[in-house]
Amino acid sequence: MSPTPQMHLCAFLFSTGHHVASWRHPDVPLQNGTDFQYWKDLAQLCERGKLDALFLYDGAALPAMDLEPMSRMDRVTFFDPMTLLPALAVVTDRIGLVSTSSTTYDQPYYVARRYLSLDHLSGGRAAWNMVTGVNTAEALNFGAPLMAHADRYARAREFAEVVRGLWDSWSDDAFVMQKDTGRFFDPAGVQMLDHQGAHFSVRSPMCVPRSPQGQPVMVQAGGSEAGRELAAETADMIYSVQDDLEEAKAFYADVKGRMATYGRHPDSLKIMPGVYTIVGSTVQEAEDKYGALNELVDGGVAMSLLSWCMGGHDLSGYDPDGPVPQDLTTNAGTTHLKQMASIARARNLTLRQLGTHVAAGGYGHWSVRGTPTQVADQLEERFTGKAADGFNLMPATYPGGLVDIIDGVIPELQRRGLFRTEYTGRTLRDHLGLAVPKRQVRA
């Protein structure tokens, strides 16, 4: 009898929680994103729950340029994750460490070096979440307009190719370090990339040895046509946004179905949508938590967030109690824009109601609330129904919402045989059940 397949779980750690008013909740500690003890406690809590990884957001600008609504949110300051994650690597032993870096505003050599360095510091637990950048405010911080969507993805594809080539600079046995002969490394174990492309010219080799897990894990976040194709070609994990079950199943089948073109097995890519969670010991307690948080939402903040989710469109010219426009286009985040239109259409929401939904429910991600058993039921349904290989957990508040997951939902999943009770490997690839990639030797 074959063992029960097990889901993968990561925690998306974001400010004081994924509810926009989490920082105002009386049980949430006030902090501005720079308290290392806060992040250390969360990371160790995630590891206590045997989660595959923790996931950190990064961006090079505020989410919006209007400072009045932004002044009512706490998600405006955060560490550069590539300074925070090495520190968290020291105070954890097994949990994977995932962070975001942009292919639009960075260079392949720097990204390859940072994540490979983190991989060594952590003993093979690093992952790079590759994004193209969708925020116009970010572009302004780099002195240029936001690059066209197709151009961003063309650059991203080449960027990923270069990074992976750099990660294969050295063979596993290149560093012989022989004191008697005076030979530190074997020249035959190093190869030049000599990449010449439309966007990058990179000679190599990388100045960090090959990864303890072959290569750091590659994560991709993007649900557009170009994003799906890039994930099928390059990613080990995809962070996705689906609210509806049937949409999630269709996305799962579509991305997995593209992989054969690139000679890849569907199991070599883990599809892990975000899921916004509120857990209570009873149904009423979960609803009370939800209601208490929603009472703290500022209307201006809700509409500002909705504007961001709809590609940065100025919504002030629309009737807030009228229908959500369905014909908007954007050069920014197309996935969220389509998701917003779909949710409004399916639920017959006004613009104001959609803003409230976004503020209260994790930016259009799938939202679940209830008892640990009810939350586990819903996760199991999507997992066994081929809608996900696992989930990026997005608790409404920290640390309480995460504690509810670790001490309530995780034990329930463990009782069902759907999630590990102990780590069985040491690297993130071990946790995810991913093979160690073979080094590509260039002719």
Q: Which residue has the tokens 């009370």?
A: 288
Tens digits of per-residue pLDDT, 323-350? Answer: 777 766 666 556 666 777 777 777 777 8
The confidence score (pLDDT) of residue 178 equals 97
Q: Answer whether 53's CB lies under 8 Å from 94's CB.
A: no
Q: Is the pLDDT assigned to residue 422 strictly greater than 80? A: yes
User: Mean pLDDT, to the nearest integer, of 200-225?
Assistant: 94
The confidence score (pLDDT) of residue 59 equals 81
Q: How is domain 8-432 classified at the CATH fold level?
A: TIM Barrel (3.20.20)
Instruction: Give the bridge partners for 130, in sequence order.
Output: 101, 220
Q: Is the pLDDT assigned to residue 200 strictly greater than 70? A: yes
Distances (CA, A) of 350 to 171, 296, 329, 363: 58, 20, 19, 16
The confidence score (pLDDT) of residue 1 equals 44
* Average pLDDT score over the chain: 90
Q: Percentage of the chain with pLDDT > 70?
A: 93
User: Mean pLDDT, to the nearest integer, of 15-41?
Assistant: 91
Q: Is the pLDDT assigned to residue 310 strictly greater than 90? A: no
The confidence score (pLDDT) of residue 262 equals 96
The confidence score (pLDDT) of residue 80 equals 92
235 φ, ψ to 5°? -90, 150
Q: Which residue has the tokens 């190719």?
A: 161
Confidence of residue 2 (pLDDT cuts 50, 70, 90): low
The confidence score (pLDDT) of residue 256 equals 97
Q: Which residue has the tokens 């946790």?
A: 431
HEC sequence for the chain: CCCCCCCEEEEEECCCCCCCCHHHCCCCCCCCCCCHHHHHHHHHHHHHCCCCEEEECCCCCCCCCCHHHHCCCCCCCCCCHHHHHHHHHHCCCCCEEEEEEECCCCCHHHHHHHHHHHHHHHCCCEEEEEECCCCHHHHHHCCCCCCCHHHHHHHHHHHHHHHHHHHCCECCCCCCCECCCCECCCHHHECCCCEECCCCEECCCCCCCCECCECCEEEEECCCHHHHHHHHHHCCEEEECCCCHHHHHHHHHHHHHHHHHHCCCHHHCEEEEEEEEEECCCHHHHHHHHHHHHCCCCHHHHHHHHHHHCCCCCCCCCCCCCECCCCCCCCCCHHHHHHHHHHHHHHCCEHHHHHHHHHHCCCCCEEEEECHHHHHHHHHHHHHCCCCCEEEEEECCCCHHHHHHHHHHHHHHHHCCCCCCCCCCCCHHHHHCCCCCCCCCCC
Q: Which residue has the higher pLDDT, 317 or 221?
A: 221
The confidence score (pLDDT) of residue 243 equals 84
Structure tokens at 421: 């009770």
Q: Is the pLDDT assigned to residue 102 strictly greater than 60? A: yes
By mean pLDDT, which of 256-265, 300-309, 392-401, 424-433 is the weakest? 300-309
Q: Answer whether 428's CB lies under 8 Å from 126's CB.
A: yes
By mean pLDDT, which of 117-121, 279-283, 358-362, 382-386 is the weakest? 358-362
User: Mean pLDDT, to the nearest integer, of 160-176?
Assistant: 97
Q: Is the pLDDT assigned to residue 194 strictly greater than 80? A: yes
Q: Answer whether 54's CB lies under 8 Å from 10's CB.
A: yes
Characterize the bridge pairing of strands 237-240 and 390-395: unpaired
Q: Is the pLDDT assigned to residue 144 strictly greater than 50? A: yes
pTM: 0.90
Whole-angstrom Cα distance, residue 176 to residue 326? 62
The confidence score (pLDDT) of residue 65 equals 60
Those residues whose C-beta lies under 8 Å from the C-beta of residue 433, and which sit 6 or more positions away, are 267
Distances (CA, A) of 90 to 51, 141, 388, 403, 431: 17, 32, 31, 22, 19
Confidence of residue 134 (pLDDT cuts 50, 70, 90): confident
